[in-house]
Structure 1
Amino acid sequence: MTDTPLTFGSSASADDAELALLGLIAYQELTSFEHLSSDARLSPTLVDREILGRLAVAEFGHFELVRELIAARGLDPQEVIEPFMESLDEMHRRTKPGDWYESLTKAYVIDGVAGDFYSLIASGLEPEARDLVHQVKRTEANADWLRDRLQLAIADHPERASRMALWGRRLLGEALTQAREIGEKYDYFGALQAEGRGDRGQEMTTLFASLVESHSRRMRQLGMTA
């Protein structure tokens, strides 16, 4: 356990930035577990409930993997994770779904953007941490089921499409705002930008453009305009 809380700022080393990213991912996985568990209880069918429960368990397993890596480095996981709790919790308060289908859309959008973001940032990590990030954020199976279930929901009630598309745009805005705020506050992107890869502002512009394009592709798969 460290004697003082960990901080990540403009003078953070690459190691500190890596820990910041791991702390952020750990708490995101824990909150995903909590929200999917809640969504499972509200599922309209037993099959939906079973599958969401399984997805929730997988997210908790991811949380444990990241937590164990932090602990293996001789640090208290709570101290590494705690700085990100307020920001993530506030984002979830601002994006409280109105019904079960908005909950699925939220999982589809937020997890998709987060997975893309972490994977892009992880390119600057040490191999052990980079491999773990890719393992944890490899969510194709989750995304496939969420996409299929949302497509079915729209097919059953086409009027849902416009509401869910509007909701998806709001979620994208919140996810990008949070990513930018956390990145600037803890400067993990700047610290991971090793070996002078280029202008930081241009790197960030390119990264966020990639996030928006990936989100647009996922929404098109639902038959919606992002």
Structure 2
Amino acid sequence: MGTSSAGNAQYQRLVTDLLGVMAYGELSAFGRLSSDARYAPTLHDRALLGRIAVIEFQHFELASARLEELGVDAEETMLPFQRSVDHFHERTKPGDWYESLMKAYVIDTVSSDFYRSVSEFLDADTRELVERILVSEESTAVLRELLQHALAEDPRLASRLALWGRRLVGEALTQAQRVSMEHALLGPLLSSTGDARETVGKLTADLAERHSRRMTGLGLTA
């Protein structure tokens, strides 16, 4: 009985931690994209980024609502992740509109890959919710198209954005590893494999490979 209760408590902590970091990530993205939209070169581009910001806020609301359903305070669940996420964004401040687009694209896609990997070990209802929060094909497509358009208009951007993309993915993967280990987000995965260092290494390599394919699709060298 005690073991079962302990296991259940550990699982609930995994779910609430995952939803907590996702909720704060979405709220943070909403604020960041809303701010970046002001620097768009055209009103059309500003409206596009503003729409993506609204979608991020809707995702935040989905995660917050589920946390409340679980009987936990959404704000309290997000707080342990606030400092780490904010520090990450402080370290990766974009220098202009184009770097803002690249950052939004890289963080959106890499974080989605990571959260899906974690959600594979959760119950069907939670996996479905995570997928609903991560379903951002529209947002991803818009960001990709904006980047493709910018690169087509000014090919000189390619080398700078490729370098920026490499820095971003490196920071993002380091951040994912740190948050995972501090909050045991990879607990089920590590328990099923035994070798924590090797498992985390494989996951990191997989996330990096997916990122590399996306950069290649943009005509950039990851």
Q: TM bucket by the smaller chain?
A: over 0.9
2: distance between equivalents of 1:157 and 1:193?
43
Two-structure CA RMSD over aligned residues (Å): 1.4
Alpha-carbon shift at residue 147 of structure 1 (Å): 1.1
1: distance between equivalents of 2:155 and 2:78?
41
1: distance between equivalents of 2:190 and 2:217?
35
User: What secondary structure is seen at the aligned counterpart in 2 of 1:158?
Assistant: coil
Match of 2:5 in 1: none
Is 2:45 the counterpart of 1:56?
Answer: no
State the TM-score, normalizing by the size of structure 1: 0.91
1: distance between equivalents of 2:190 and 2:66?
22
2: distance between equivalents of 1:148 and 1:57?
18
Alpha-carbon shift at residue 195 of structure 1 (Å): 7.0
Give the counterpart letter for 2:192 in structure 1: G
Match of 2:170 in 1: 173
Match of 1:162 in 2: 159
Match of 1:114 in 2: 111
User: What runs of 5+ residues in structure 2 fail to find an aligned partner?
Assistant: 1-8
Query: For the Cα contact (< 8 Å) 1:95–1:171, is it kept in 2?
Result: yes
Show the 5 A alignment for 1:76-155.
76-155=73-152
Is 2:31 the counterpart of 1:31?
Answer: no
User: What secondary structure is seen at the aligned counterpart in 2 of 1:75?
Assistant: coil
Query: For the Cα contact (< 8 Å) 2:105–2:144, is it kept in 1?
Result: yes
Alpha-carbon shift at residue 141 of structure 1 (Å): 1.6
Give the counterpart letter for 1:54 in structure 2: R
TM-aligned CA distance change 1:106 to 1:194, over 3 Å: closer
- Say which is worse superposed, 77-86 or 150-159, in terms of deviation: 150-159
Residue by residue over 1:167-186, the C-alpha shift from the partner in whole angstroms, topping out at 9 and shown as x without a partner, is 00000011001001111111
2: distance between equivalents of 1:169 and 1:182?
20
Is 2:168 the counterpart of 1:193?
Answer: no
Match of 1:8 in 2: none
Give the counterpart letter for 1:49 in structure 2: R
Residue by residue over 1:68-127, the C-alpha shift from the partner in whole angstroms, topping out at 9 and shown as x without a partner, is 000011111111110000000000000000001100000011111000000111101122
- Say which is worse superposed, 37-46 or 12-21, in terms of deviation: 12-21
Match of 1:217 in 2: 213
Give the counterpart letter for 2:209 in structure 1: E
Alpha-carbon shift at residue 194 of structure 1 (Å): 8.1
Alpha-carbon shift at residue 154 of structure 1 (Å): 1.1
Query: For the Cα contact (< 8 Å) 1:40–1:53, is it kept in 2?
Result: yes
Match of 1:208 in 2: 204
User: What runs of 5+ residues in structure 1 fail to find an aligned partner?
Assistant: 1-11
User: What secondary structure is seen at the aligned counterpart in 2 of 1:53?
Assistant: helix
Q: Identity over the aligned pairs, expressed in percent?
A: 49
State the TM-score, normalizing by the size of structure 2: 0.92
Question: Which structure's residues are more often helix, by fraction?
Answer: 2
Query: For the Cα contact (< 8 Å) 2:190–2:199, is it kept in 1?
Result: no
Give the counterpart letter for 2:85 in structure 1: L
